[in-house]
Amino acid sequence: MLLGRYMHLHKGKGRRTGSVLDRSAYILLSRIRTQGPMSIGQLGDAFGLDASTLNRQTAAAMRAGLVERIPDPEGGMARKFRITEEGERRLDEERTGLVASLDRIMADWPEEDIAAFAGYLRRFNSDIERLHGMPWPRPHTTERL
């Protein structure tokens, strides 16, 4: 709870100080970047959200120029959402800000403590995903976030 309070400028707004994306846009863009173009149905399955919620989120992301609708690259009937260059840029900017915030929090931590914390956090997230049956695809990277 303290991390959430530290990272957010306005309670309940889903934004950290200096944020360029709200929480739902950050999560949406992160998933599309990792998994590739996705339909509303695929996003619903991935997040456990109903179509009306996702329609609102994707419409806002489209208005902001963060995603675009494209025909299914695999020839399916449903149109899919693809991240735009602007979406990529703002996602990268947001991630950089998040990492900088975490770096300030852990400035005095020894590297081995940071590595242990990252390992436990990965395990914690994986267990949540397993319990909910909704794994998050991850690129193979050494990135902290």
Return d(Cα 112, Cα 1) in angstroms, integer: 24
- For 126-135, what is each residue's pLDDT tens digit? 898 888 887 7
- pLDDT tier at 144 (50, 70, 90 boundaries)? very low
What pLDDT is stored for residue 68 in this prediction? 97
pTM: 0.78
Contacts of 55 (CB under 8 A, 6+ apart): 40
Average pLDDT, rounded, for the chain: 85
Helix (H, G, I), strand (E, B) or coil at 139: coil
Closest CA to 60 of 88, 87, 35: 87
Q: Which amino acid is present at 84?
A: T
Return d(Cα 97, Cα 101) in angstroms, integer: 6
C-alpha distances out from residue 28 to 23, 32, 104, 128, Å: 9, 6, 26, 19
- Taking 60 as the threshold, does the pLDDT of residue 140 lie above it? no
Q: How far is CA 15 from the centre of its chain?
A: 13
Evaluate the CA torsion angle 30, 36, 37, 39 in order and state its sign.
Answer: negative
What pLDDT is stored for residue 145 in this prediction? 46
- Which pair of structure tokens corresponds to residue 133? 């049956």
CB 14 within 8 A of CB 8: yes
Return d(Cα 50, Cα 56) in angstroms, integer: 10
- For 62-92, what is each residue's pLDDT tens digit? 999 999 999 988 888 889 999 999 999 999 9
- Taking 60 as the threshold, does the pLDDT of residue 11 lie above it? no
Higher-pLDDT residue of 14 and 40 is 40
Return d(Cα 133, Cα 18) in angstroms, integer: 33
